[in-house]
Amino acid sequence: MFPLLTILVLLTAGLYPAVSRAQATPQIDPGAVSEANRLLEQELKVAARPQVYVVLDLTRSLVLIKGRGIELSQIPIVQWRQSGDGPTEGVYRVLARPPVNRPKAAPTDTLSPIELDDMPEAYELRFDPLLVITVSPPAGERFWPWVVAYLREWWIFLTARFGVTATRADGANVRLHLTLSATAAQSLAWSLTDGMTLLIGRTLP
């Protein structure tokens, strides 16, 4: 009888709900909230213009193609990593879209529209301000494109390691390496245009 009476008293005092609420309260990172708000403010400025832009959401491992704030498509990221010193969050512009993989047509030939299959599966993207993003498929899906991307990264690492800075070697202090499926990599390359805007949130804890 006493234990039952004790439980009733505790419930009446509201101690059980208080404990439950305390345990359910998530830990909020003020820096992450501030950065999310800042990125949202930047996106609002970009979304006000009639253009398609890209949001690199590394928290959710997604590349988002958007227009006027509306999500047009999602490209999943298999894996990503960052090399070099310094933050990557901010607003960037694509300097040049990836080259098309198809033979050059003769002057008398009729050019066919560029299709998804014409786009590369592994490539390097350069942005203004200085940022380089490399894209490649997983080794198990496309071995040789993965090898080429891997050797390029190692060359840049070695030149930086033995006295040549990353800036002198490839024009950027920070690089992002995205692993996408072959089809996703082609889809991203097909979606990009020269001068396109890219927004990146905070990538480092």
pLDDT of 84-102, one tens digit each? 777 788 899 999 999 887 6
User: At residue 28, what is the residue type?
Assistant: I
Q: Check whether 78 has a pLDDT greater than 70.
A: yes
Dig out the tokens for 102 from the structure: 């198809």
Dig out the tokens for 9 from the structure: 């008293």
Rounded to whole angstroms, the Cα distance separating 5 from 88 reads 59
pLDDT tens-place string over residues 162-192: 555 444 344 556 789 999 999 999 999 999 9
Q: Check whether 67 has a pLDDT greater than 70.
A: yes
Mean pLDDT in residue range 140-161: 59
Specify the pTM: 0.68
Q: Which of 53-57, 155-159, 191-195 has the lowest mean pLDDT?
A: 155-159
Domains, the chain, ordered by start: 28-101+116-200 (2.40.440.10)
Closest CA to 183 of 57, 75, 66, 64: 75
- On whether the CB atoms of residues 79 and 179 are closer than 8 A, the answer is yes
Rounded to whole angstroms, the Cα distance separating 152 from 129 reads 21
